[in-house]
Amino acid sequence: MSTRNYVPRLIRGGRVNFSVKGHPKDGQACTVFDGLPNPSHRSANQWYDVRFDDGGFVRCNERDLQPIKVEDSQNPSEAFGNAEPPAEAVKSR
């Protein structure tokens, strides 16, 4: 049996729209706070903690979040909001 490193699709600090019909915060923008452990390695089962601009938190499934892409950004690192910078690649000799 082989193990693969699973990485959630949405990154910490990324801006997303929350969309759950009937929820009081439906349609509001929020920030991904953290991706939760996902033993199945399937995006359909990925859960996230997100923080709204008013300070509220919610735990939701990936299907309830749509990434917000900043189209006119001059800096590619800002393309998905205030995301954490990617780790630098380590070259082996």
> Is 4 domain-assigned?
no
Residue 2 lies in a domain: no
The ranges of the chain with pLDDT < 50 are 1, 72-73, 76-77, 79-80, 83-93
Asked whether residue 32 is assigned to any structural domain, the reply reads: yes
Domain count, the chain: 1
Please check whether residue 89 lies inside any domain of the structure: no
Domain residues for 47? 15-68
Handedness of CA 21, 26, 30, 34 (dihedral sign): negative
Instruction: Supply the CATH number for residue 51's domain.
Output: 2.30.30
92 domain residue, yes or no: no
Q: Is residue 30 part of a domain?
A: yes
pLDDT value for 91: 43
Q: Considering the entire predicted model, what is its pTM?
A: 0.67
Q: What backbone torsions phi and psi does residue 78 show, to the nearest 5 degrees?
A: -95, 5
**CA distances to 23, 48, 61, 66, 73 from 76, in Å:** 33, 24, 27, 19, 7
Contacts of residue 51, defined as CB under 8 A and 6 or more positions apart, other chains included, come to: 30, 31, 33, 57
Asked if residue 18 lies in contact with residue 50, where contact means CB atoms within 8 angstroms, the answer is: yes
pLDDT for res 90: 42
User: Residue 71: its pLDDT value, please?
Assistant: 64
- Give the pLDDT confidence score for residue 86 in this predicted structure: 45
Handedness of CA 80, 83, 85, 89 (dihedral sign): negative
- pLDDT score of 7: 81
Look at residue 8 and tell me if it is in a domain: no
How confident is the model at residue 42, as a pLDDT? Answer: 82
Instruction: Give yes or no for a contact between 47 and 65, defined as CB atoms under 8 angstroms apart.
Output: no
